[in-house]
A and B are shown apart, each in its own frame.
Chain A
Amino acid sequence: MDQDIISKKDLLELTGISYGQLYRWKRKNLIPEEWFIRKSTFTGQETFFPREQILARIDKIKNMKEDLSLDEIADMFSPEAAAVSLGREDLLKRNIVSKVSLDLLTDQLGIGEVVPFDSILFGYIVEKLLQDGSISLEEGRLLLQTLADHYPKVQGKGGELIFVRKLGIATCLLHAGTGEVYVENGARIAARVNLASCIEELKPKLM
């Protein structure tokens, strides 16, 4: 556990940013509240961050802040939906979904020519899981249906999609938090997708 977190002091030293910048980014919601982990140390309470996540995030902010305002960057990171929709052709052209997932999406959710952000997200998740072979086409349908039915309830809060398989039978759940999930011994978690990080990956592709 201790290797996975980094103290505020070490973080600033490593990345070369100042306290002012860190607080400014926090104010602008570029760094989520949950990443500020308080721990007691022998000098009193100190703040720590999840190492990999915060370093990746600061790297991204540094790269983006040349071209974008802080508010625009915040939009990129926020788990809120982006106000974009794309045409079917565009989705294929930009390699966001393949023909297979797009057909699946059309079949299952009956989308039209213009695809709203939520559906793009669903398609993107299915595409990802189909690509790495963790789910089958039929299971993709199940997944899309779960997302379509329940995604509005976790929207804007992040959440996780978990795909469990036992004796070849698959089921899919949408978890509104990001805490640990334990399954019985016979079952296996086939795939686990963090929705917030998916949205974060997806947004730059749509701009």
Chain B
Amino acid sequence: MMKEKTNDLRINGMGTASGGRYDRVDINGVSGVNGDLECQDFNANGKVKINGAIRSGTVYVEGLSTVKGNVQAQRINIHGKMEIEGDVTFQEIRVDGKTRVSGRASGEEADIRGNFHVEGDCDAEVFSLQGGFTVGGLLNAGKIEIHIHDGCQAKEIGGEHIRVRKIAHGPKFWGALLPFGHYLTTDSVEGDDIHLEYTKARVVRGNNVTIGPGCEIDLVEYRGQYRLDQGAKVGESRQL
């Protein structure tokens, strides 16, 4: 079998290059690429702007990268900040820092420490996050695991196992004293097993529902078990 020979793209320092098909793309410094990139490995260090889409086996970003189009990759690792002005599709995404997606995000596994902003829908089999996020549409995942450290917001949340927690930093009473702690704010949470803390929602519906401390929920509908923490406010709860 003939293997098509592709070249590597390497930029060090300042410069621009054109898109195309490469084996490995290494960009260090302040630089840009004009056009779509298709490659096996994409590595960016520094301030990098891609005026096009990226399709790659792996994407590794340190520093600040901006992509004008869609990003599609098996594995995405972001240390720093990445802005994607299209959709992002992945098998695995790991963010340490901040990522902003103007379109939708979908894939298998998302592991985020820091901030994650998606303007459209976000879906994954596993979505775990420590930090803050906004999802403009529906956050839909098989397993949702959120540790609130910053503002969290989604239009709607749906999935199988949904667990939202808040771990207090430092002495516990500071959390209780501060009037504006961080919350997860959403219209509705629907799932099979739901465990919420510090969540403000209009409605929560599920099989087994636990409403923990700090929650403010207008309506809870459940089929199986229901547990309510003393520190939560629930307007109305019904068993279906």
Where the two chains meet, the residues of A that have a C-beta atom closer than 8 Å to any C-beta of B are 9, 13, 18-20, 22-24, 26-27, 43-45
Contact = CB atoms under 8 A, between A and B. Distances in A.
B83 interface: no
20 contacts: A9-B205, A9-B221, A18-B207, A19-B205, A20-B142, A20-B161, A20-B191, A20-B192, A22-B158, A23-B158, A23-B159, A23-B191, A24-B160, A26-B158, A27-B106, A27-B125, A43-B203, A43-B219, A44-B187, A44-B203
A19 B191 contact: yes
Contacts of B205: 9, 19
A23 B240 contact: no
B123 A27 contact: yes
Interface in B204-220: 205-207, 219
B140 A27 contact: yes
A9 B202 CA distance: 16
B33 to A, nearest CB: 29
Given A9-B205, A23-B159, A27-B125, 11 more contacts: A18-B207, A19-B192, A19-B207, A23-B191, A24-B160, A26-B140, A27-B106, A27-B140, A27-B142, A43-B219, A44-B203
Given A43-B219, A44-B187, A45-B187, A23 B140 contact: yes
Contacts of A19: 158, 190-192, 205-207
The size class of the interface chain B forms with chain A is: 20 to 34
Contacts of A44: 187, 202-203
B101 to A, nearest CB: 17
A90 B240 CA distance: 51
B187 A23 contact: no
A18 B187 contact: no
Contacts of B125: 27
Interface string B137-179: 0001110000000000000001111000000000000000000
A19 B159 CA distance: 7
Contacts of A27: 106, 123, 125, 140-142
A65 to B, nearest CB: 15
Contacts of B191: 19-20, 23
A140 B161 CA distance: 52
Contacts of A26: 140, 158
A5 B130 CA distance: 39
Contacts of B202: 44
B106 to A, nearest CB: 8
B187 to A, nearest CB: 7
A44 B106 CA distance: 27
B142 A24 contact: yes
Contact of B160 (A9, A13, A20, A45): A20
B190 A13 contact: no
A107 B191 CA distance: 54
A56 B98 CA distance: 43
